[in-house]
A and B are shown apart, each in its own frame.
Chain A
Amino acid sequence: MKLGILVNEGPYTHQASDTAYQFAKAALAKGHEIYRVFFYHDGVNNGTRLTVPPQDDRNIVKRWSELAAEHKLDLVLCIAAAQRRGLMDKNEAKRHGKDTDNLAAGFRISGLGQLIETGIQSDRLVVFGD
């Protein structure tokens, strides 16, 4: 089955991103395809490379990056939600005159249309949030 995943909550505060990650991993292990993981609302905070969790805790951002590298996942942050919350790739940082970018490996920033497209192209769109 071709699955789309929507993550609506940020890391650590809320379980949504953890559950979405475990779901994605389990689905891939069962041979399902993941069309795209879209991050919206505070979910965009899952895509910052600047998080430094304690060493005895899981690294949620790094875990997504590694899963993306291993399975060629398409991890997309909503641009409008990302701009509100200070998530930037190199181009965005330059465009807005910011002194750094903070997008983690494996993530990209794009428009909400990519969420609608995920709904159209996937057999199921699974929403993780509050």
Chain B
Amino acid sequence: MDEATEGGAVKRFLYVNRKAPYGTIYALESLEVVLIGAAFDQDVSLAFVGDGVYQLTKGQDTKALEVKNFSPTFRALDDYDINKIYVDADALRARGLTEADLVIPVEVVSTERMAQIMEGQDVILSF
């Protein structure tokens, strides 16, 4: 607990994305919180676990669903200084995916490491 909590101004926010990008609105509305939250100058990280890893996959085509493909928005996160993106290794592997299948650079971490990352947060928003 360093400057992040002592001053009361900057906290560590972790957004945990657990759900597939389409089928429910959670993923899209989670990204909306991340983008709005970026204006608050907090210490922001994103985690992708379970079906949440599908949110980052390349080549999403949503035309037939008649919903917006929002995956390009993830590439804008770096412009907001949001670059701590953690992806659960087991979740990727279980779905036959690798880091090369994802639209942005990420840090692939073990479940144990993910637990440590969560432990180090002040605020966890789980979607």
A119–B43 Cα distance when bound, in Å, is 12
CB 8 Å contact bits of B1-39 with A (1 = contact, 0 = none): 000000011010100000000000110010011001101
Q: Does A25 contact B (CB under 8 A)?
A: no
Count of chain B residues with a beta carbon within 8 Å of a chain A beta carbon? 20
- Interface size range on A against B: 10 to 19
A81–B33 Cα distance when bound, in Å, is 11
Given known contacts A119-B11, A120-B40, A112 and B33 CB-to-CB distance under 8 angstroms:
yes
- Chain A CB within 10 Å, residue with most, of B25, B26, B125: B125
A residues contacting B by CB (< 8 A) are 6, 8, 40-41, 80-81, 111-113, 115-117, 119-120, 125, 127, 129-130
Judge whether B37 and A125 touch: CB under 8 Å.
no
Given contacts A120-B11, A127-B126, could you give 5 more A-B pairs where the C-beta distance is less than 8 Å?
Answer: A40-B29, A119-B125, A125-B125, A127-B124, A129-B127
A-B pairs, 3 with minimum CB distance: A119-B123, A112-B36, A116-B37
Q: Inter-chain contact count A-B, CB under 8 Å?
A: 51
Given known contacts A6-B125, A125-B123, A127-B126, A116 and B40 CB-to-CB distance under 8 angstroms:
yes
Give the contacts of B70-127 with A (CB-CB under 8 A).
122-127
Judge whether B126 and A129 touch: CB under 8 Å.
yes
Q: Which of A113, A120, A127, A130 contacts B125 (CB 8 A)?
A: A127
Which residues does chain A contribute within 8 Å of B40, judged by CB atoms? 113, 116-117, 120
Judge whether A113 and B39 touch: CB under 8 Å.
yes
Q: Which of B8, B11, B124, B127 contacts A8 (CB 8 A)?
A: B127
Which residues does chain B contribute within 8 Å of A113, judged by CB atoms? 36-37, 39-40
CB distance from A18 to the nearest CB of B (A): 19
Q: Does B42 contact A (CB under 8 A)?
A: yes
Q: Which residue of B lies closest to A40 (CB)?
A: B29
Which residues does chain A contribute within 8 Å of B42, judged by CB atoms? 116, 119-120
Judge whether A41 and B39 touch: CB under 8 Å.
no
Which residues does chain A contribute within 8 Å of B9, judged by CB atoms? 120
Q: Which residue of A lies closest to B36 (CB)?
A: A112
Q: What are 10 A-B interface contacts by the 8 Å CB criterion?
A: A41-B29, A112-B37, A116-B33, A116-B40, A119-B42, A119-B122, A120-B11, A120-B123, A129-B126, A129-B127
Q: Which of A41, A116, A129 contacts B36 (CB 8 A)?
A: A116
